[in-house]
Structure 1
Amino acid sequence: MSKNMSYYDVPDGVDIRGRYSDEFAQVLTADALRFVADLQREFRGRIRYAMECRREAKRRYDAGGLPGFDPATKFVREGDWVCAPVPPAVADRTVEITGPVERKMIINALNSGAKVFMADFEDALSPSWENLMKGQVNLRDAVNRTISFHDQARNRVYKLNDNTAKLFVRPRGWHLPEAHILIDGEPATGCLVDFGLYFFHNYANFRATQGGGYGPFFYLPKMEHSREAKIWNCVFERAEKFAGIERGSIRATVLIETLPAVFQMNEILYELRDHSVGLNCGRWDYIFSYVKTFQAHRDRLLPDRVQVGMGQHFMKSYSDLLIRTCHRRGVHAMGGMAAQIPIRDDPAANAAALELVRKDKLREVRAGHDGTWAAHPGLIPTILDVFTSTIPNLPNQIHTAKREDADSITSDDLIRKPTGTRSISALRLNTRVGIQYLAAWLTGTGSVPLYNLMEDAATAEISRVQNWQWIKHGVELDGDGVGVKVTRELFGRVVEEEMERVAREVGKERFERGRFREACRIFARQCVSEELYDFLTLDAYNNIVVMHPRASARL
């Protein structure tokens, strides 16, 4: 087929429905698509089975069951095995910054002074066709060190420094489809598209320039069971064999961000033991998962979102057990996200926010974490100072912070009921944040600064499921608004009033130009639905899918 024609060249069984672009065509080559299609065909049956197992577990929890440690894998938890040694290139992960795969973001994050940048195809990205494909182009250019960005408004050109953070990539979770790429007539699995295209085009250059002979490096989200880790391990082995590189070259950190996964941490590491570089406390999604897991349990209602911190017994137990598990197996135990962003017009408030960050990170490093996450480059100096002053001359605490005391943590500790109060202010904030985040997501932005915090899909999910839980179970408020029962009618009034407030805050012109009303309909529908939607953005995904039926043609 002529290269001048505006169609993607695709292998047998593959169809592309996203917009054609010459730039995207450099990523969506026939060979790269064949690699992705082969992964899809080999693993789709196992992925379907894993998703059905998730649904079966949900049925058990809804019927009153509780998550717990699996007796069948006790031998894994009690065994003396360890993971493969951590590659020297990523021994120091004291501060990691995260953000979407946008061009300017990638440059600034790699230049930020952080040890690692996690380029995100998941919670911080709205998965439009344009965002996903531009993200692949941007990462290719970053690995090749040819990436630049001309900010015309500031007349400034951004380029990479000589020394940059190590690059990790987070693909989407197993549950998310890629509607713009059909393989044998069905939507591709989103994470296999993200992983496959990035690996195919970048593994050789990455290993030479960033990995010290290892890599590429990944973060793996949203797992609930070790069977899902086993699929990833097989994907990695399949990719290594394809590329002709040593087994164990690819390395990944798993986010422990679902409640069922905390009972599977040893098993997850065991399945990935040749490819693992640790676990991460994905604490915002973990809070979301607590509500989701116990959605039918009226005795486990969450207090106000701001009260569910690491001081809650179930949250501290989760962090302590993760550190113990990782260090026992010889890999990194990564801390959670500092979501604060600089408050430039209020020095006193900014200093107070930085002090909160400092205290939180001091807690993490003293607990034994080897590193942590920051949402904004402005937090990095504070966090680096905390870690380097506490563990001087050491890249990590893997071999020093054993946390054997955490061996006594039980299932009851990990699901302890949270304490605190529930208020009308929290219901209002949840509503205001959820609608504004979703409005931004629908217009292509997946990471949004709101009220001095960086919000992504994980924090928006907490807002949504907390509203749903309180409405579903008719919570009687005991914070401000004490004695008021949360009903659909009350929520309806809150939505109306908060939409008026949002319109005032963002300005009438921006409000009318944006997708706030559409976001409000989606968010409110999910909050009052009889059954809890699995994911906010999965329901909204069809609202950002734009099909181009004649974007590809057979070779």
Structure 2
Amino acid sequence: MDHRTHLPSTVTESYYDVPDGVDILGRYDEEFAKILKKDALKFVADLQREFRSDIKYALEKRKEAKKRYNEGALPGFDPATSHIREEEWVCAPVPPAAADRKVEITGPVDRKMVINALNSGAKVFMADFEDALSPSWENLMSGQVNLKDALDGTISFHDKVRNRVYKLNEQTAKLFVRPRGWHLPEAHILIDGEPATGCLVDFGLYFYHNYSAFRRTQGAGFGPFFYLPKMEHSREAKIWNSVFEKAENVAGIERGSIRATVLIETLPAVFQMNEILYELKDHSVGLNCGRWDYIFSYVKTFQAHPDRLLPDRVQVGMTQHFMKSYSDLLIRTCHRRGVHAMGGMAAQIPIKDDPVANEAALELVRKDKLREVKAGHDGTWAAHPGLIPACMEVFNNIMSNAPHQIETVKREDAANITAEDLLQIPVGVRTEEGLRLNTRVGIQYLAAWLSGSGCVPLYNLMEDAATAEISRVQNWQWLKYEVELNGDGAGEKVNKELFDRVVEEEMVRIEKEVGTEKFEKGNYKEACKIFARQCTSPELDDFLTLEAYDYIVLHRPKEGTFKTLN
């Protein structure tokens, strides 16, 4: 049988050699072919076949939970697993290679970013196939190439504009990789006629090609390391644990070599933290406060609860009671179980042309990081290399250069945090400027995402899919319930008429800010249509990127023509 996936006749005899049941619909590239080897694809296909029924079941259970919440139920601690929460047990010891994680930088997997992030002075670089990446075929496959080259020590990048060559320093950050969430497909790879599960593609290709190099370069006999996003229940962590065990068996490496940090970034997951760690006991290195997605999830979970309306997104910070409770309980849970409790993202970016504004932004970062380290977090996230020295200084000063606080800060006071604490409605005002900022940010982020960029600097903050999601669902919530503004624009109701006017006026502002030429060449008008449609839809879509994904899927069928799914 001929297992080759053919391409247009203009690319004579170029093909990916694929195993039975696998079809590649993305364009052929010699560099990609080094990643998409037959054995690597077989490994991914085996993962898909073994776990797809479990994944489908887990996603169905998400739908059932959503239905309950929409009918008035509230998330809470599961009585059936109280024994896991109450009993004393710990995860596998933190490996020395990942003991010190005071500052972690995150970002997409483009070549220059990978080099700069590994050279940034951070303890960890979380290479992101998820919220900071627009998951085009080009981005995903070149990202796999870049990470392999980085671990092989051969990566370099020639910036022709600056006439500068970027290479790795002798000392680099530890590499963690974040695959996509369970819900996202990979439409360029079909397995038995179905789109592959995106996260199994990301994990499988990376693990298959790099586990030996990672262990050789990162030391201590542990790794690779991962971040796991968007989970809502411990059954999803159980699937990941089984994936890890299968990968270790196939590779012939000891159980527990793979280690993962789970992002607690959905409201249901905060009630499952002990259970998630329990399922990943041999493979865990902690939990992380994914606070932007957590805010998004709060709105999504309570989409049918008009008594739980959020104020402007800029007011929903970590000092809100429900957010502080979430952070405190995460620290207590992680340290009780012997693993890292990682803090949230510092999204600020340096303001080059305004020293006063830049120092004010840095002071906000220092204040936030001081709150985190004093609370007991073992490390934190930064979106830009320019923030790393300030973050590192704060953590080192409080921790006296200790690698973490797992043994020293137990947060027993957080044992009394209740479901009511975790669900408390945030306080603040709702303003027209809040509606406008949501709209402006959402449209510009989506325009960049459609153009291939998943991480976008806007108004001195680094925006990714999580912050764009907050903008979308808050607009949707305010429109659905026609909320009355109680800040600027007080007394005015957020209805379709107001929203249409805001969209029109903000599009004018965006064009003025970016310039007409860039505006016309960009995807701003298409992004506006998608964003406005999702904000005004009768039913809230689970994820903004699921609809938008169809616009960036580019199939190259055997007859030699391009087509998108849209």
Q: Under a length normalisation based on structure 1, what TM-score does the superposition of the two structures give?
A: 0.99
The answer to whether the aligner puts 1:457 opposite 2:457 as a matched pair is no
Residue 330 (str. 1) matches residue 348 (str. 2): no
Q: 1:494 aligns with which of 490, 498, 502?
A: 502
Matches within 5 A, 1:331-480: 331-480=339-488
Identify the residue that residue 133 of structure 1 maps to in structure 2: 141
> In structure 1, how many angstroms separate the alpha carbons of the residues matched to 2:282 and 2:120?
30
> Which letter maps to 1:56?
E
SS in 2 for 1:300: coil
Q: Report the identity percentage.
A: 78
Q: Does residue 1:264 correspond to 2:272, yes or no?
A: yes
2:328 is the alignment partner of 1:317: no
Q: Is the 8 A contact 1:7 1:550 kept in 2?
A: no
CA distance in 2, matches of 1:5, 1:317: 59
Give distance in 1, aligned partners of 2:463 and 2:287: 22
| 1: CA distance, partners of 2:98 / 2:30 | 35
Q: Which amino acid aligns with 1:43?
A: F
Q: What residue identity is the alignment partner of 1:464?
A: R
Specify the code of the residue in structure 2 equivalent to 1:75.
H
Measure, in 2, the Cα distance between the counterparts of 1:551 and 1:72: 55
What secondary structure sits across from 2:485 in the alignment?
coil
Residues 16-52 of structure 1 show CA distances to partners (whole Å, capped at 9, x for unaligned) of: 0000001100000000000000000000000000000
Could you say which residue in structure 2 is the equivalent of 1:193?
A: 201
CA separation in 1, counterparts of 2:358 and 2:401?
30
Residue 224 of structure 1 is matched in structure 2 by 232
- Matching residue's letter, 2:338: G
- 1:5 shift after superposition: 2.0
Query: What's the CA shift string for 1:245-276, capped at 9, x where partnerless?
Result: 00000000000000000000000000000000
Query: Structure 1 residue 73: deviation in Å?
Result: 0.2
**SS state at 2:554 partner:** coil
Taking the aligned partners of 1:508 and 1:67, their CA distance within structure 2 comes to 47
Contact 1:18 1:551 in 2 (8 A): no
Distance 2:319 2:400 in 1: 26
| Aligned residue among 530, 546, 550 for 1:538 | 546
- Aligned partner (choices 126, 131, 134) of residue 118 of structure 1: 126
Residue 146 of structure 1 corresponds to which residue in structure 2?
A: 154
Instruction: Name the residue aligned to 2:529.
Output: 521
Give, in angstroms, the shift of residue 211 of structure 1.
4.0
Partner residue of 2:489 out of 481, 493, 496 = 481
Q: 1:93: how far off?
A: 0.1
Task: For 1:393 and 1:436, locate their aligned partners in 2 and report how far apart those are by CA, in whole Å.
Answer: 41
Shift of residue 539, structure 1, vs aligned partner: 1.1
Separation in 1, partners of 2:489, 2:344: 32
Q: Partner residue of 1:45?
A: 53
**Residues in 1 aligned to 2:283 and 2:291: alpha-carbon distance in whole angstroms:** 23
Structure 1 residues 201 and 551: alpha-carbon distance in aligned structure 2, compared to 1, 3 A threshold: farther
Q: Which letter maps to 1:306?
A: V
Aligned to 2:166: 158
Equivalent pair of 1:8/1:551 in contact (CA under 8 Å): no
Q: What CA distance in whole angstroms lies between the structure 2 residues aligned with 1:404 and 1:187?
A: 46
Distance 1:551 1:133 in 2: 23
Q: What SS class does the counterpart of residue 261 from structure 2 fall into?
A: strand
| C-alpha distance in structure 2 between counterparts of 1:345 and 1:533, whole Å | 39
Q: Which residue of 1 aligns with 2:32?
A: 24
Cα distance in structure 1, aligned partners of 2:546 and 2:386? 32
Q: 2:216 aligns to what?
A: 208
1:301 paired residue among 281, 288, 309: 309
Amino acid in the other structure paired with 1:180: H
State the TM-score, normalizing by the size of structure 2: 0.97
Unaligned runs of 5+ in 2: 7-11, 561-566
Residue 8 of structure 1 and its aligned partner are, at CA, apart by 0.4
How far did 1:551 drift? 9.8
- 1:167 maps to a residue whose letter is L
The runs of 4+ residues in structure 1 deviating greater than 3 Å are 1-4
Deviation at 1:550, TM superposition (A): 2.8
Give yes or no for the alignment of 1:85 onto 2:93.
yes
RMSD across aligned positions (CA):
1.1
1:178 maps to what in 2?
A: 186
Aligned partner of residue 555 in structure 2, secondary structure:
coil
What is the distance in 1 between the residues matched to 2:70 and 2:49?
A: 33
* Native 8 Å contact 1:16 1:551 kept in 2: no
Matched letter for residue 305 of structure 2: H
How many residue pairs get matched?
552
The CA deviation at 1:393 is 3.3
1:393 is paired with a residue whose SS is coil
2:244 matched residue in structure 1: 236
